[in-house]
Structure 1
Amino acid sequence: MSWNEWAQHDGVGLAARVRKGELTPKELARQAAAAVAKVNPALSGVVELFEDVIADPAKDGANLAGPFAGLPFLMKDLGPTMKGRLQEMGSLLMRGNRASADTFLTGKFRQAGLNLIGRTTTPEFGVCSSADNPAVYVTRNPWNTDYTTCGSSAGSAAMVAAGVVPIAHATDGGGSIRIPAGVNGNIGLKVSRGVFSLAPHMSDLTGLVSIQGCQSRSVRDTAAFVDHARGPAPGEFMPFWTTAQPYSEMIKRDPGKLRIALSHTWGDYTATPEIAAELEKTGRFLEGLGHHVDYALPELDFRAAFEAQTMCYISNFAVVISNMLAARGLDKPPEDLIEPMNIRIWEAGRHTSFAERAKMQGVFNTTSRGFGAFFEQWDVILTPITALPTPKVGTREYLTISDNPDVLDWFGNLWRFFAFTPLANLCGMPAISMPMATQDHDLPLGIQAIAKQANDGLLLQLAAQIERALDGKWNGGRKPKVHVS
């Protein structure tokens, strides 16, 4: 296949060609590997390729008769594990860490016919906004390599945007699917709670904010991914849910006339005038599709919500780091192996009390109820994906290599930048980033749509309606400067 032809196909399209006998899974794997070789020197988004499953796509158990028919798929180096493969989590401490088993979701990926061919970059433990530490790797934005991909699904976002693969694994604990999708020009859906299993290590309730998902370039790829990877492992701690009709069918129909609320200010955080103008432009476009659009905001204590979110991150990551240390017989983080801000987060969170967590979860409850009341009147909230422009590579104030001595101030910097994404995690609501706008320096700007819990299908329907209205030309039909074609 020519590179232009390769990049024009989405995953569903490539799988269809395999089923017709026009291509083989091995040919797809080889072309994906060649694509990595073509762009990775400029972007540094792939940590490792697995030569054995490129040579033999069925070797690790990919179901080549499954719906994705052996489609090459890159795994973020965090979250679901692959038996016998390294998982190093962007950390010097985790160098050489090899998984002893597949997690449940990994098995779902394989059964769906995805060929897991390699690992993509992530910041250390997925904590900060970019995979940007020269001691590990520096992942760059394919639209302009002076700028970051954001994160934490950094490498997956860069590889999908650059045309390497049509779809790749991502995770989202506060925007880490949607934010890199937004600044790399991809589609990024964070599903509701109760869709993708975190078994056997956690559940959606014990994880609280962490969600699995993907980066893609077409709505139907994201819909098919959710359709075929969703579902509970045995003994889930919480109920899982499904839909009467697969999303792949649902997206063929436009939604009805929607009540869409625009917002570019959440509590103390507001978007720049340029970014707010892009949101308004999107609102006018949606009015042209027949939807009712106006400015509106949920009645919430935003300050309390962000304080609770911060508490959640500090206490969760402190436990993650403590577990890593215990497994290695260490009683404190080695300063030469763990990044400075992650050490401070561990120090700040390791003695969090049950009472503090209970108070935090109380705020989660009232915040979720506030959004629930809002969604009695509105179908969708539309925001920019970020409040501030994408930073240049090496902008340390958002990184865990920052020398900021104040953990709370450091998190405040994150919220000023990523104000609009984390509350969907806190409340378990679905949210999607769509590549509909632009910012300076030729960089994309995602527009985020949020809906009530379990209304994931509505967001995919809206995204599919927009995709049809754009004749499939997300990002105005433009491609990044660094691209396989």
Structure 2
Amino acid sequence: MKDYERYDGLGLADLVKTRAVTAKELLTAAVARIEARNPAVNAVVNRMYDRAEATIAAGLPPGPFAGVPYLLKDLGVYYTGTVTSSGSAFFRDAIADHDSEIVARLKRAGLVILGKTNTSEFGLSTSVEPKLFGPTRNPWNLEFSAGGSSGGAAAAVASGMLPVAHATDGGGSIRIPASCCGLFGLKPTRARTPLGPDFGEGWSGMGVGHAVTRSVRDSAALLDVTAGPDVGDPYWAPPPGGPYLAEVGVDPGRLRIAFTTKAWSGHPVDADCVAAVLASAKLCESLGHCVAEASPFIDEELHNKARRVVIGANTRTTLEARGKALGREPRPDDVETFTWAAAESGRELTASDYAGAIRVLHQVGRVVGRFFTRYDVLLTPTMCEPPYKLGVLSMSGNDPQTYLQALLGTIAFTSLFNTAGNPAMSVPLHWSASGLPVGVQFAAPFGDEATLLRLGSQLEAARPWVDRRPPRH
């Protein structure tokens, strides 16, 4: 299928529905591109072609994505009979005996799962360079990172293997790879999509699953098929007013858009990232929105300390659970250097430490919530810098404290909305002089993906990015 890459996911599904192509032909096209391009970018780490063929042969449900190839991130979700390694040698033999609820929903939508994508170990890095599988490379320049922790997903979509791929986000892991690879990346509201039946929440409410996509409408349609609580969820996001896909193309009205180019942590912001925000602010103003420079006040030192407590505690729990399954204690050589350091910090915590950290995170959420009583949207850089070279964020090659400081710089704008739970999207509206994508982030009030999808589709129409392809596409 020569024109496979012209279409987004819904476009491919329409071809199947009208019998212009078959699901098998789409699978063949996706497999051909994975086999041709993966040696360069290392996006796909687990191929499931035979199983995908069997899925098609058994008959696909008549969902909105019937016949569309799809890749799962190798972290946070389970697919019966397959390994979820979480990018870690410690989990390289962890075979699932059930489907996660979100996987079941994706299958009911008609998506054909044909593999899994590379991720940093336990999602603890914004660059995908696990010792288990090796680094994922940015299709725009192979010396650079594709971002993380959903870098494998983003590299797969950016390189044209397929138009949509599963991703998760606990500190920026959808938005950062989308920014690095020139894609649209929406992090939904906290608890918008389920993590069950294995988890009630990810990283104490900071983690959520969704996708990276080429088009805004694919992101909306995927959210329609995955959103909503699972049985027994501890809490869930407020229900939307209607289908998310119906929001695409709707006039967002005159929005009150605040913008800032200053990181709450004080990290320096690259001139390209500043330029991206200022140009995007002007674009929004030209579209009729009311744009003003403003930002919530965040004590980022306190915020990051609380996040480290939560992530350390969760990392320790993950290692202990795996050790119990294997019948032995976890060892430092089971995982990467920074992972072990995070787990050790978790081992030393008290219950009071954890409860205090949760209280701080809740206070941060209140500050963000109050800010959005005055503004409809906040525009920021997605990252403090354009894509960085591979090796800068190696979880094993750096001293843990040195690595941590570098990591905090990459999530300086994104992690706030994991803490507060607000929806946020990275939109590919800028490229650096060297040809690397530079995304900008838009965040909205808790539960209001609709505004982001309306604005995102308006920006997509005003400044199209679909035809911007990496040189190795």
The equivalent position to 1:360 in structure 2, one of 352, 357, 362, is 357
Is contact 1:266-1:302 (8 Å) kept?
A: no
**1:440-459 to 2 correspondences below 5 Å:** 440-459=433-452
The unaligned stretches of length 5 or more in structure 1 are none
Give how far 1:392 is off: 1.0
What SS does structure 2 have at the residue aligned with 1:314? helix
Deviations 1:22-54 (A, max 9, x none): 111111111111110111011111012212233
Identity %: 34
**Residues 455 and 75 of structure 1: CA distance in aligned 2, closer, same or farther (over 3 Å):** same
Which deviates more from structure 2 when the two are superposed, residues 447-456 or residues 276-285? 276-285
The residue type equivalent to 1:401 in the other structure is: S
Amino acid at match of 2:470: P
| Structure-2 residue corresponding to 1:403 | 398
Contact kept in structure 2, 1:129 and 1:399, CA below 8 Å: no
Conserved? CA contact 1:310–1:411, under 8 Å: no
Report the CA distance between 1:368 and its aligned residue.
Answer: 0.9
Q: CA distance change for structure 1 residues 456 and 270 in 2, over 3 Å: closer, same or farther?
A: farther
| More divergent stretch after superposition (129-138 vs 17-26) | 129-138
1:14 and 2:8 are equivalent in the alignment: no
Change (3 A) 1:311 1:412: farther
Q: How far is 1:266 from its partner?
A: 2.7
Q: Please give the secondary structure, in 1, of the residue aligned with 2:70.
A: strand
Q: Partner of 1:466 in structure 2?
A: 459
3-state SS of 1:382 partner: strand
Deviations 1:259-293 (A, max 9, x none): 11111213322412332122111111111111111
Give the whole-Å Cα distance in 1 for the aligned partners of 2:364 and 2:324. 35
In structure 2, distance between residues paired with 1:201 and 1:179: 26
Pairing 1:29-48 to 2, within 5 Å after superposition: 29-48=27-46
CA deviations on 1:151-204 (whole Å, 9 max, x unpaired) are 000111001011111100000010000000000011110000131011012123
AA aligned to 1:460 is L
Q: Which runs of 5+ in 2 are unaligned?
A: none
Change (3 A) 1:151 1:369: same
Contact 1:91 1:124 in 2 (8 A): yes
Q: Which residue of 1 aligns with 2:299?
A: 301
State the partner residue of 1:414. 407
In 2: Cα distance, 1:314 partner to 1:410 partner: 15
Is the Cα–Cα contact under 8 Å of residues 193 and 211 in structure 1 kept in the other structure? Answer: yes
**Structure 1 pair 445–350 and aligned structure 2 pair: CA distance change class (3 A):** same
Cα RMSD, aligned residues only: 1.7
CA distance in 2, matches of 1:299, 1:341: 30
Equivalent of 1:159 in 146, 151, 156: 156
2:62 equivalent in structure 1:
65
| Cα shift readout 1:279-312 (whole Å, capped 9, x = no counterpart) | 1111111111111112101133232112212222
Q: TM-score, structure 1 length as denominator?
A: 0.94
* Matched residue, 2:317: 319
Instruction: Provide the rounded CA distance (Å) in 2 between the counterparts of 1:457 and 1:311.
Output: 32
Question: How much does 1:205 deviate?
Answer: 7.3
- SS of structure 1 residue aligned to 2:137: coil
* 1:376 equivalenced with 2:381 (yes/no): no
Q: TM-score, normalised by structure 2?
A: 0.96
Give 2:218's aligned amino acid: D
Cα shift readout 1:388-443 (whole Å, capped 9, x = no counterpart)? 23221222xx221133153xx53232112220000100111100000111225311
Q: CA deviation at 1:334?
A: 4.3
- Residue 253 of structure 1 aligns to a residue whose secondary structure is coil
The answer for the alignment partner of 2:257 in structure 1 is 260
Q: Which amino acid aligns with 1:204?
A: E
Deviation at 1:149, TM superposition (A): 0.6
User: 1:276 aligned to 2:274?
Assistant: yes
- 412-421 vs 150-159, which deviates more? 412-421
- Amino acid of the residue matched to residue 469 of structure 2? K
1:341 matches 2:338: yes
Moved more, 237-246 or 376-385: 237-246
- Establish whether residue 23 from structure 1 lines up as the match of residue 15 from structure 2: no
**1:121 offset after TM fit, Å?**
0.4
Shift of residue 314, structure 1, vs aligned partner: 1.8
Q: Secondary structure at the match of 2:89?
A: coil
CA contact (8 A) 2:157 2:165 kept: yes
Contact 1:25-1:57 within 8 A present in 2 as well: no
Count residues in correspondence: 472
Give the corresponding residue for 1:198.
Answer: 195
Structure 1 counterpart of 2:431, which letter?
T
Shift of 1:137: 1.5
Q: Out of 137, 140, 154, which is 2:137 matched to? A: 140
Contact 2:337–2:400 (Cα < 8 Å) also in 1: no
SS of the residue 2:56 aligns to: coil
CA contact (8 A) 1:53 1:117 kept: yes
Deviations 1:336-394 (A, max 9, x none): x3111111111111232221111111111211111111111111111111102322122
State whether residues 62 and 70 of structure 1, in contact with CA within 8 Å, keep that contact through their aligned partners in structure 2: no
CA pair 101-62 structure 1, distance change in 2 beyond 3 A: farther
Moved over 4 A (4+): none
Which range moved further: 20-29 or 238-247? 238-247
**8 A Cα contact 1:26 1:56, kept in partner:** no
Structure 2 contact 259–293 (Cα < 8 Å) conserved? yes
Q: 1:75 — aligned with what? A: 72
Report which stretch shifted further, 94-103 or 141-150.
94-103
Secondary structure, in 3 states, of the residue corresponding to 1:345? helix
Specify whether residues 230 and 36 from structure 1 end up closer, same or farther in structure 2 by C-alpha distance, changes over 3 A only. same
TM-superposition CA deviations, 1:231-259 (whole Å, max 9, x none) = 11112111343222101111121101111
The 1:440–1:338 alpha-carbon spacing in structure 2 relative to 1, beyond 3 Å, is farther
The one-letter code sitting in structure 2 at the alignment partner of 1:351 is E
- Structure 1 residues 80, 62: CA separation in 2 closer, same or farther (over 3 Å shift)? farther
- 8 Å contact kept, 1:130–1:152: yes
